[in-house]
Copies of this chain bind each other. A is one copy, B any other.
Amino acid sequence: MKTPQKKRYEMRLSGSGGQGLITAAVIFAEAVGVYDGKYVCQTQSYGPEARGGKSKAEVVISDHPIDYPKARRLDLLLAMNQAACDAYYRDLNPDGLLVVDSSLVEQYPTNRVIAIPFTRIAREQLGKEMVANMVALGAVGLLSGQVISNSLEKALLARVPPGTEELNKAALHLGMDEAAKINLDALPRTILHDEEV
């Protein structure tokens, strides 16, 4: 699998309020910042629309100190529901990765999409829908090429509630396994000109 090498990498995890996306973003940032030693900013922004139940959390990674911590052009967008996919898809770079929870997103705005049923995997394989965020985190971690898998696991174990370590770790690894099956080279090269690919 390709590992993108860029100065600045911007990611947004989005969905609804109860899906644990902020937790996933905090774990991702701690893995990259504390264990991998890169510069990373992790941000949630709320405005008047926050009451609608939407949730988003951003991670910006760099080899250099980060002055502006908000994401502007996304290298990766995780959309855990249709509303988030529709609202944020336009913020992707043309060669950015759109990763959707195919259990909950039905209409894809492009065929340059990585569709994995995170919620269904969590429910059917672990019996706990609530760890869909950790399945997604594992997949996004691998697909981004921005974090060492072992760091992600360490950061996860340090943050999840005591007693849930094994469940969350299993969820993370299921997500990594799913992502490892994806051939990024087989994706259309850009979200802009699907028809040409």
Q: Contact residues of A with B, CB < 8 Å?
A: 17, 22, 26, 29-30, 32-34, 37-48, 50-51, 65-66, 68-70, 161
Q: Are B46 and A43 in contact (CB under 8 A)?
A: no
- Closest chain B residue, CB of each to CB of A64: B47
9 A-B contacts, Cβ less than 8 Å apart? A17-B34, A22-B26, A29-B44, A30-B46, A33-B47, A34-B46, A39-B48, A42-B44, A43-B43
- For the residues of A in contact with B, the DSSP-based class is mixed
| Minimum Cβ distance to chain B for residue A83 (Å) | 16
| Minimum Cβ distance to chain B for residue A58 (Å) | 9
Docked complex Cα distance between A43 and B46 (Å):
12
Given the complex, which residues of B lie within 8 Å of A65, measured CB to CB?
47
| 20 more A-B residue pairs beyond the given contacts A33-B50, A42-B45, with a C-beta to C-beta distance below 8 A | A17-B34, A26-B26, A26-B44, A29-B46, A30-B46, A32-B46, A34-B50, A37-B51, A38-B46, A39-B45, A39-B46, A39-B47, A40-B45, A41-B45, A41-B70, A42-B43, A45-B66, A45-B69, A47-B65, A68-B68
- Given the known interface contacts A22-B26, A26-B22, A69-B70, the answer about A40 and B46 at a Cβ–Cβ threshold of 8 Å is yes
Given the complex, which residues of B lie within 8 Å of A51, measured CB to CB?
34, 37
| Minimum Cβ distance to chain B for residue A173 (Å) | 22
Docked complex Cα distance between A161 and B22 (Å):
14
